[in-house]
Structure 1
Amino acid sequence: MMDYFNSIEPPTNESPYELLLRAALLIPLSHYLLGLCLIFIVFLYNFLEIHFLQDFFTGFKGQPVTLTFNSSSKLYHDVVSKCRVLHGRYLSTPWLCSPHLQTVFVHYFGNPPVVNYTRQLFTTSDGGTIALDWVINAEDKQTAIQGNDAMQHNDRCPIIIIVPGLTSASDSAYVKHLAFKMAERGCNVAVSNHRGLGGVSVTSDRFYTAAWTDDIRSVIEHIHCQYPEAPLFAVGTSVGANILVKYLGEDGHNVPIIGAAAICSPWDSLICDRFFRRRLLQRCYNKVLTSGLKDYANLHKDVLSRISNWEGVQEARSCRDFDDVATRVLANCETVDTYYRQCSSANYVGGVMVPLLCISSLDDPICTSEAIPWDECRLNKNVVLATTQHGGHLPFFEGLTAKSVWWVRAVDEFFTALKSSPLSHQRKEVQMPVLSSANPQETSIDKAAFLNVTKDGNSCCSSRTP
């Protein structure tokens, strides 16, 4: 027994920390590197909100679409109940299993189909110019170039009017996905580019804002008067969705369209503004959107510098900064918060009197789900809200190749069911606004030069760069 105790080494004078360090040094460096890699992967997985494991453990079946509607809604019972896409599941493209990956992909790549347009310049009552880009088929290109006779005034073919997002135009990938699908269905498709976008200069002191609905109102009424027998549908995306819903809520029954769809609307600009300042990734999106707004401003410096704080525009570091020095001034609002309250379409959902399908993603990194007007949508019998767990801001890519967009299929099915339903309402006759004398211009849009429209209605080409 004494030999046993004598064999035990006497305690050292090393502290517990020194012993811990000695033990740590015994672990191979490769194990540390592996541990760091695992920690980084876990961090990146959560930071980018990747949901691959969730999809994997659910057998890649996707998550069910949630529908919010009034229980006595004829829109749901007569139309939406027949839409299989809206009653199915949405599964994102496996290698785009993150709202951020999807959002970046759609804005910088997007896998858009080839779409050809013929351009019509529309002049508003205040002298502003809007580019209406009509989708044409390759075999109809020569006919379309000859003018509006390519579409007959008594044509009963449905017309889809697309309102793009903040600084988007007819060349944006998600717009092309929708335009191609609707044209493939046999509809006539017109993209209503915002003032100063789509390669057209600003020809008045009026710029478009998220609160400005006169432009889309004039465009819709003009197209209705040109083709009174054609069923009209409208689709708004992002800020374009906000403008469309606000217009529908303002005019109620007095709109000449059969139905509409609002995709990824911001709904409440005050809430979205706070959301933008909350997390690192949202602040990155804020920077990117601000850069786009400043590029838009630089294109029209001659006009904007006269009616806004140009120095403030150049120094703007966020969307709120830009809106404070430019947008609220253009909208005649005293403060930027006043402008945000004025332009928020959530306040107008209750006034919508035509069938409206709203689609939003709960993981939208730009237009937060916190702004969705759930109760307003539930109270209005003319509105059905479809939400998905995933999808990002506008992409909703599906399939291994990411060439299909889920919400495009949903809108297509919704309009098809609506057109054949008894909900098609009598449209009110409206007065046609003033048109420009310019003829439609066939262009690939992507390669089009910047189109400068002079006061006499003539146009000339110049570089897109400011």
Structure 2
Amino acid sequence: MQGIGFMKTRSHKSPSKRDVAVPTEVNSKGEATENCAGTSLQLSTGTSFMVLSHRRRSRKVPLRPVVCAGISNGRCSVPGHLYHQLRSCDFAKEKRRHWAILAEERSIRVSKHVRASMQQSMLLKEEQAEVPWGVRDYIHSSLIFTAPCNRSEKWKSRGVLQSHVKIVILLADQWCTCKSPASPRPPVCLGALVLESQVRVGLFGSGVGLSLVLGFGVAYACYYLSSIAKKPQLVASNKRFCRFLKEYCPVVTETYYPTIWCWEGRVQTLLRPFITSRPQVQYRNELIRTADGGQISLDWFDNNDSLYYPDASTRPTVLLLPGLTGTSKESYILHMIHQSETLGYRCVVFNNRGIAGEDLLTPRTYCAANTEDLEAVIHHIHSLHPSAPFMAAGVSMGGMLLLNYLGKTGRDTPLMAAAIFSAGWNVFESVESLEKPLNWLLFNYYLTTCLQSSISRHRQMLEKLFDMDLVMKARTVREFDKQFTSVMFGYRTIDDYYEDASPCRKLKSVGIPVLCLNSVDDVFSPGHAIPVETAKQNANVALVLTSCGGHIGFLEGIWPRKCTYMDRVFKQFVQAVFEHGNKIFSM
């Protein structure tokens, strides 16, 4: 604040029509008390001072002092628009912590170490206030009062600014030109400042701001409960299968409450790898040979400490299939193994060729349409534990591969049942969705670079058959599949490959109970591409469709670190199949 000066006291002038006296007085101890008998600020007999008012003319213009009225005989007159705010103010109890008058050569600044003591009006000693050098020797004491000042309705409605009136009264020794008066004289009031200032406050410092926050919170809660938190849609034409799910896998009928601060599909997809924990799992790796001379890496979690199934030969086994570039180290795979461990089951993770760190022995990787490697893995596991109950669960592309396998084999499979999570049902629709500008920026380009990285370490083996420089220039999944995947597996065009890789075309042939979980806001598998009508034509298929969840997201709870909705569906369905499967196998 600039331009605050101290002027010599002068005789009292009659108050104007807008000047009204303040019904407050200061006793001998320097305390502010209410004077009910009069309407003036009585300091002490024979004192006189001046009142200055600060008004902000613009939000960017500093406060400027304006002389309101000259006062004498200890009576202070203030403008009428301040009187109604000051007359009912109990200065002794008014609490305003954060204020200070910035110092310049001719202004007063309250020291930082006395701000805390300004919760109540009190007598400030001479050494507690910093004043101009020329006035310092004459200060006897000072009084500070703070009172709220209501603004106009215009500013009230905005709820952004809040005004206060600061009254700083300096009591000094009798004004004289010498630094040391000859004899002590009664103190006089050197000056008083009435500051009307606008202070920007936060949302919670304004009643209107708080009301806005509460109103927004209530509106958001209503929107969340009405449009976001919903029960999943259960699609199952077989009533017996449907009753089985409702009885032994009730999570598919419960309301899914996605994380309130990240329920949108893209956000859930992006945050899941960073938010969810990564349980510690000790694997036993096994490399098996294929008919074409290649090798496949399997990571076993034997769960030898199982209390429920101590006999390894009859211990239930779950085969897990990760996503497009996923391995046994993915967080969703680790969570599935953790859920299976608590139930006493054994898990095996099928790593696609060349993904888990093993070398490629032949110039061949993997794709969603070719199920030869999966058939070899299922046959190998079943031959090791023929008496053990056996089922599989696939995630994303792993789910697509598993569905294509089940559509090809029908009932001729050692699997009892299967669980599918976030599978891309129609590859054409999936690729088109991923090529939208925002989805390309968030997912498509990154996924393409991951595919290129997975084959770059096998460049010497693959460049015998492919133009690797052209493959490495791909910027979308479609371009990568056109230059690499479709060529590797002998498809004439990329459309032929996408048609063969789409599970929706083989869903009618599935011959074992399959539970499929998808979110309608999954950008990898758009809601309109989910084959609801086709699923109704197969009694072995049940779809669980949530309104939110994204791609392998399904986050729930305030801080969804340990368990997701997908984990709960997996745990309940696997347990229902292994422990109550006889009730659905006879349907």
- For Structure 1 versus Structure 2, the TM-score category normalised by the shorter chain is 0.7 to 0.9
- Indicate whether 1:332 and 2:490 are aligned: yes
Deviation at 1:364, TM superposition (A): 0.9
Query: Within 5 A, what are the aligned runs for 1:13-32?
Result: none
Q: Is the 8 A contact 2:431 2:524 kept in 1?
A: no
Please say if residues 522 and 550 of structure 2, whose CA atoms lie closer than 8 Å, have aligned partners that are also in contact: yes
The residue identity in structure 1 corresponding to 2:267 is: L
1:265 aligns with 2:423: yes
Letter in 2 for 1:404: C
Which position in structure 2 is the counterpart of 1:97?
A: 263
- Distance in structure 2 (CA, Å) of the matches to 1:53 and 1:292: 38
Deviation string 1:208-265 (CA, Å, 9 cap, x unpaired) is 1111111111111111111011111100000000000000010001000110011000
TM-score where L is the length of structure 2: 0.59
Structure 1 outlier segments of 4+, above 6 Å: 26-29
Deviation at 1:75, TM superposition (A): 2.1
Alignment of 1:396-411 (within 5 A): 396-402=554-560, 403-411=562-570
- Residue matched to 2:446: 288
Equivalent position SS for 2:298: strand
What is aligned with 1:416? 575
Corresponding residue SS for 1:244: helix
Change (3 A) 1:60 1:273: closer
Query: Partner amino acid for 1:169?
Result: T
Which position in structure 2 is the counterpart of 1:211?
369
Structure 2 CA distance for partners of 1:425 and 1:217, relative to 1, 3 Å: farther
TM superposition shift of 1:59? 8.0
Tell me which amino acid in the other structure corresponds to 2:574: F
> Residue 172 of structure 1 is aligned with which of 301, 318, 330?
330
Matches within 5 A, 1:7-406: 53=220, 57-58=224-225, 62-70=229-237, 72-136=238-302, 155-402=313-560, 403-406=562-565
Decide whether aligned partners of structure 1 residues 256 and 197 sit closer, same or farther in structure 2, where only a CA change above 3 A counts.
same
Structure 1 residues 298, 382: CA separation in 2 closer, same or farther (over 3 Å shift)?
Answer: same
User: Deviation of residue 291 (structure 1)?
Assistant: 0.7
> How far is 1:103 from its partner?
1.1
| 1:68-116 per-position Cα deviation (integer Å, ceiling 9, x unaligned) | 111x443223344432101101112233322222211223453222222
Structure 2 runs not aligned, ≥5 long? 1-57, 62-157, 161-218
1:159/1:231 contact within 8 Å kept: yes
Change in Cα spacing, 1:60 to 1:207, as seen in structure 2 (3 Å) is same
Q: CA shift at 1:325, angstroms?
A: 0.5
Task: Work out the CA distance in 2 between the residues paired with 1:57 and 1:423.
Answer: 37
Higher relative contact order (CA 8 A, sep 6+): 1
DSSP-derived class of the 1:68 partner: strand
Indicate the SS of the match to 1:89. Answer: coil
**Contact 2:228 2:258 (C-alpha < 8 Å) held by counterparts:** no
In the other structure, the counterpart of 1:8 is none
Aligned residue pair count: 372
Shift of 1:63: 1.3
Range moving further from structure 2, 328-337 or 233-242 = 328-337
> Relative to 1, partners in 2 of residues 1:414 and 1:199: Cα closer, same or farther, differing over 3 Å?
same
Change in CA separation of 1:61 and 1:229 when aligned onto 2, cut-off 3 Å: same
1:9 is aligned to: none
Q: What amino acid is aligned across from residue 271 of structure 2 in structure 1?
A: F
The DSSP-based 3-state class of the residue aligned with 1:306 is coil
Distance 2:361 2:276 in 1: 32
Name the amino acid aligned to 2:409: D
TM-score, L = length of structure 1? 0.74
- Counterpart-to-counterpart distance in 1, 2:342 and 2:477: 37
Name the CA distance, whole Å, in 1 between partners of 2:371 and 2:428.
19
> Which of structures 1 and 2 has the bigger CA Rg?
2
Deviations 1:377-419 (A, max 9, x none): 1110000000101111102122223121111211221122223
Which structure has the highest helix share of the two?
1
